[in-house]
Chains A and B, each alone.
Chain A
């Protein structure tokens, strides 16, 4: 059994004719990061909204929030991406559907990927936000009311600032999950990091160099994200307050 190692392949010109394979992987990384960043914005906004809804006194808000979380958590991410990519353009009015289908690459895969990943992650963030809010003593909410704050004001000035600090550690792992999950978008044609590694493998037959390089890049990104979030966590920490850890299994 033998395998011909050739690390020099990374510096050879790739199939596109002018960039090296290393640059192909870097382009993949850029798409991974851009997709994850856009999806993260959607996930944080919707996740916060839904998480807050589930802790408000309104029964209807709670029900809608719960339905949101269960819907996005119980369908595989790959199926969700297929729904956004294949099904959405068909069920929209014809003009809109056609416009979606005719988007030039890579936007045609990028937009459904961002929506799909964003909403999928929003359900997970909503769980964290809810757990963070519920980890706060009830007295905080009451104190807000006693001060004459309205419910939205209580959330804005009292509850959420503390809740976000509490959920920093699980939010870090959700961010990393999101970056890893971006790879699923290769099934709808987005050439992110895993897809770039795969195409390098297909054209050069240097399987293990391609995948090792992609793996190392993921590990480096992971380390950067973890340290960034840890720094942020320290930066925003309220002195004398150590939040309880809210942990949950995942990917």
Chain B
């Protein structure tokens, strides 16, 4: 093996972070936000007393959880143009681009995982609280928004954040759509300069430092916000 070349890293570091990491973090943030919102709705549907709603949500979550993320990425990459055409009434598939398709994919895929967390969170709130809400004259949405969900979110914050760290790592799979996320950027430089060893080791190090750092923070938060029962 030739000498380890630190120079290739320092030369490309601006590109790696400005282009690559910015995209990775944007995708993570959008998918986490969308995934938690949609996931919470799915969890509410799943716990609903309307059988049809509950079956629909269960089916969706189980389907998403039984196929690999990569297959889901490919599915949506080809499916979204057809759905967009169907919505807009266009006669041929609408090109939405790899980036929009990746945001949609990760939002819908992660929603299934977030919904399982939120379901546990909602179920961790005692039934008495819901009845108390109804007894006060609140309707379903008010009870959920004012009584149940705030507590469910609080109880589940550490697990939601841990899932978001997993999401952050999973976004590297957009590599298969040739998107320039952090790994995509590293891989482009690696191939252009023939410096695979340096770039992939550096990418691994950056992912490790960020994920490990965040998980330490989550653990600290967990201790801090734990409700003493």
Contact = CB atoms under 8 A, between A and B. Distances in A.
Interface of A: 1, 3, 70-71, 73-80, 82-83, 86-87, 90-91, 94, 97, 176, 180-184, 186-187, 194, 197-198, 201, 207-208, 211, 214-215, 218-219, 222, 249-251
Interface of B: 1, 63, 66-71, 74-75, 78-79, 82, 85-86, 90-93, 113, 116-117, 159, 162-163, 166, 169-170, 172-173, 175-176, 183, 187, 190, 196-197, 200-201, 203-204, 207-208, 211-212, 215
A77 B70 CA distance: 12
Contact of B196 (A90, A184, A187, A218): A90
A1 B68 contact: no
B69 A79 contact: no
Contacts of B90: 1
A219 B62 CA distance: 9
Contacts of A1: 82, 85-86, 90-93
Contacts of A86: 190, 196-197, 200
14 contacts: A79-B203, A86-B196, A91-B197, A180-B66, A180-B67, A182-B68, A183-B69, A186-B176, A198-B74, A211-B75, A215-B75, A249-B113, A251-B113, A251-B170
A21 B196 CA distance: 35
A70, A187, A198, A251, most chain B CB atoms within 10 A = A251
A33 to B, nearest CB: 14
Nearest to A182: B68
Given A73-B211, A218-B71, A251-B166, 16 more contacts: A1-B91, A74-B208, A76-B183, A76-B207, A78-B172, A78-B183, A79-B183, A87-B200, A186-B176, A194-B74, A208-B79, A214-B71, A215-B71, A215-B75, A249-B116, A250-B166
A136 to B, nearest CB: 24
Is the contact region of chain B dominated by helix, strand, or loop, or is it mixed? helix
Contacts of A201: 74, 78
Nearest to B4: A91
A83 B200 contact: yes
